[in-house]
A and B are shown apart, each in its own frame.
Chain A
Amino acid sequence: KQEVTQIPAALSVPEGENLVLNCSFTDSAIYNLQWFRQDPGKGLTSLLLIQSSQREQTSGRLNASLDKSSGRSTLYIAASQPGDSATYLCAVKGGTSYGKLTFGQGTILTVHP
Chain B
Amino acid sequence: GAGVSQSPSNKVTEKGKDVELRCDPISGHTALYWYRQSLGQGLEFLIYFQGNSAPDKSGLPSDRFSAERTGGSVSTLTIQRTQQEDSAVYLCASSPTGTANTGELFFGEGSRLTVL
Contacts and interface: CB of A to CB of B under 8 A. Distances in A.
Contacts of B45: 100-102
B116 to A, nearest CB: 20
A98 B48 contact: yes
A100 B56 contact: yes
Interface in B25-69: 31, 33, 35, 42-43, 45, 48, 50, 55-56, 59
Nearest to A106: B42
Nearest to B33: A100
Interface string A8-38: 0000000000000000000000011010100
B84 interface: no
Interface of chain A, helix or strand or loop or mixed? strand
Interface residues of B, number: 26
B108 A46 contact: no
A43 B109 contact: yes
A45 B110 CA distance: 12
A101 B102 contact: no
A75 interface: no
Contacts of A43: 4, 91, 107-110
Nearest to A48: B104
Interface of A: 31-32, 34, 36, 41-46, 49, 51, 89, 91, 93, 97-106
Interface of B: 4, 31, 33, 35, 42-43, 45, 48, 50, 55-56, 59, 91, 93, 95, 101-110, 112
